[in-house]
Amino acid sequence: MKTLRVNAGGGYDILIERGLLKNCGKIIKNAVSAKKAAVISDSNVAPLYLETVKNSVNAAGIETVSYTFDAGEKSKTTANLIKIVEFLAESGLTRKDCVIALGGGVCGDMAGFAAAVYLRGIKYIQIPTTLLAQVDSSVGGKTAVDIPQGKNLCGAFWQPAAVIIDPDVLNTLPAHFFSDGMGEVIKYGCIKSAPLFERLENENAADIIDDVILECCDIKRGVVERDEKESGERALLNFGHTCGHSIEKLCNFSSVSHGEAVGIGMVMITRAGENAGITEKGTADKIAALLKKYSLKTEIDLPVSDIVKNMAFDKKRTSNGINLILLKKIGESFIKPSSLDEVNALFGLK
């Protein structure tokens, strides 16, 4: 088993091994002193894995209760959050007990936030079942639900007590979920690791996915340890996301997936960086080629001016503008605080 220790929150391990789901109970027993665990899952994942997880947790001597919500981002609401918190109360969970988030990013975000606010905070375990959740959202303690004004606007930093990653669960994922996660994987190569980027170019990620997950989690571990609450370096993880979120919003979060939008955003900001003489020439083409290799889009039929205008409403904006994430070259990224005029100029707009 591969283990990474994250020194954030109370400190926790990320454990990666094929078949780990069947043995998650022992790990959870070591990580928390719970008598009862509430397994929160969604309508896609629960039929596949809930029984396996419950059986393993029960075998470790922890009683389980479970709650399943309808799969999809549309479920990540304050109303569903309250339903989960009420379920935890009705199930009699105490401060010693724990929540287990079994699912993708939506589940981890919402169950994690429920754990953060129930009894002013109880422990929780992440068992991510999508590539995106395994390489990104399950690590680092960002928890949230959406509100009508925007995605993830209501949430908390609340670190998990363990992250249990079983790459075998990716075998049951529809192909587009794998591509979606590859958007974030490519992002790690762009911002921090030229060797990872090259490996993704030269090999097939699906064949080396255990290594890829480990490498991405290790990069994220380092960033989160150095900047848990995103006052600096952690913002690098938003590379491609400011344009990407704007694109997702313009497409009403329906015709383009998160990974696709981030991919398009990475190419867009990198081309702008090249045109401004900030980024090494040819970098955007390299990123576009790698995105294509993993069946991701590289452009979208929307006016650049609309995408850029919408970026002004990003939740990561500052009082002075936006922190743009740019590349010097593959593997080297930096934060460029920019006024809205500077953002427009970068994209060749007035």
Give me the active site residues, please: 120, 142, 184, 220, 230, 234, 238, 241, 245, 258
Please list the residues that pair with 6 across neighbouring strands.
Answer: 12
| Residue 240 found at the interface with ligand GLY (CB under 6 A) | no
Q: Which is nearer to ligand GLY, 240 or 273 (CB)?
A: 240
**Structure tokens that stand for 165 in this block:** 């990653």
Burial 291-303 (b: 16+ CB within 10 A, else e): beebebbbebeee
| Residue 234 found at the interface with ligand GLY (CB under 6 A) | yes
Q: Cβ of residue 165: shortest distance to ligand GLY, in angstroms?
A: 16
| Residue 237 found at the interface with ligand GLY (CB under 6 A) | yes
Q: Max alpha carbon distance in the chain (Å)?
A: 64
Nearest to 205 by CA among 190, 222, 183, 221: 183
Q: Cβ of residue 140: shortest distance to ligand GLY, in angstroms?
A: 4
Q: Cβ of residue 108: shortest distance to ligand GLY, in angstroms?
A: 11
| Residue 136 found at the interface with ligand GLY (CB under 6 A) | yes
Please, what is the angle between helix 209-226 and helix 175-192, to 10°? 50
**Is-contact 1 17, C-beta < 8 A?**
yes
Residue 24: phi and psi, rounded to 5, are -65, -25
Q: Cβ of residue 234: shortest distance to ligand GLY, in angstroms?
A: 5
From the list 134-142, 185-193, 210-218, 329-337, the region that binds ligand GLY by CB under 6 A is 134-142
Q: Which residue from 76, 123, 142, 192 is in contact with ligand GLY, where contact means CB under 6 A?
A: 142
Nearest to 227 by CA among 4, 13, 3, 8: 8
Q: Which residue from 128, 140, 183, 240 is in contact with ligand GLY, where contact means CB under 6 A?
A: 140
**Structure tokens that stand for 58 in this block:** 């029960």
Quickly list DSSP for 123-149. EEEEEE-SHHIIIIITSS-EEEEEETT
Q: Which is nearer to ligand GLY, 151 or 271 (CB)?
A: 151
Q: Cβ of residue 47: shortest distance to ligand GLY, in angstroms?
A: 28
From the list 62-70, 90-98, 137-145, 156-164, the region that binds ligand GLY by CB under 6 A is 137-145
Please list the residues that pair with 318 across neighbouring strands.
Answer: 321
Binding residues vs ligand GLY (CB under 6 A): 136-137, 140, 142, 234, 237
